[in-house]
Homo-oligomer: A and B are copies of this chain.
Amino acid sequence: MHPVPDQSALGMLIRKLESVAALTDEERRAIKSLPVRIQNLDARQDIVHDGDQPTHCCLILDGWACRYKMLSEGKRQILSFHVPGDVLDLQSLHIPTMDHSLATLTKAVVAFIPHESLRELTARHPGLAAAFWRDTLIDAAVFREWLISMGRRSAFEHVAHLFCELYLKLHAVGLAGDHRCPMPLTQTDIADALGLTPVHINRVLQEMRGRTLITLRSRMLVIEAWDELLRVSEFNPTYLQLEKRAAA
């Protein structure tokens, strides 16, 4: 893991927002003047905890993170996965108290940006406010797609759908290609995201291997039959909004 200078962190933020909406030079300059604090985190470390009132938003520069909530009897529900370029916790800008937690899944490098600065930035630059807003709308679209998977897809279809989603998210930030990507999730993580048990995830993965859809070992996922994976999970990438940007 390399040291990450502030400029590169803000560059990542600019690239992220440009993938979401067109920016003006002035807006780019405004972002470049944001204060950031870079931090290295271990794997499986909380970034923000349920009940906290965060004072910073957090941009992932390297590594994976997730949003989760603990319930009674040790039950955990993972609500989303996040990869480099994702801005976590934008909702804390407008909803002070966290109703869930954020944690790293792998070793990670994150940049913290004060709420105060972001509030000022968005108040002064309506175009940036719209861009951040759009980013949270895309997040919501992903939540909706997960709801659909939870409600109406079988375990097999659901796992397939998740793999399609993660591959495309990683591909969009240059971390995947040629139908292969890193996959640091344990079977327990996948189970907690999909509302299933690790044992059942294991069986589903066996079946996916048996049908030569995927290879998954040493934290590396290879999708052997992309079209088939799309087909069985009825995956339609539109909700990820990876291509189109909002009109300027």
- A interface residues, Cβ below 8 angstroms from B: 21, 67, 69, 71-72, 75-77, 79, 90-91, 94-97, 99-100, 122-124, 126-127, 129-130, 132-134, 136-141, 143-148, 150-152, 192-195, 234, 236, 238-239, 241, 244, 246-247
What residues on B are CB-neighbors of A241 within 8 Å?
A: 95
Minimum distance in angstroms from A178 CB to a CB of chain B: 28
Distance of A148 Cα from B91 Cα, bound (Å): 18
Interface centre among A94, A152, A234, A247, by most B CB within 10 Å?
A94
Say whether A150 contacts B147, CB under 8 Å. Answer: yes
What residues on B are CB-neighbors of A75 within 8 Å?
A: 152
Given A79-B147, A95-B137, A148-B69, A130:B129 Cβ within 8 A = yes
What residues on B are CB-neighbors of A148 within 8 Å?
A: 69, 71, 77, 79
Say whether A147 contacts B141, CB under 8 Å. Answer: no
Given A75-B152, A133-B133, A94:B246 Cβ within 8 A = yes
Given A94-B130, A195-B152, A140:B139 Cβ within 8 A = yes
Name the contact of A129 in the complex, choosing from B77, B129, B143, B145 (C-beta under 8 A). B129
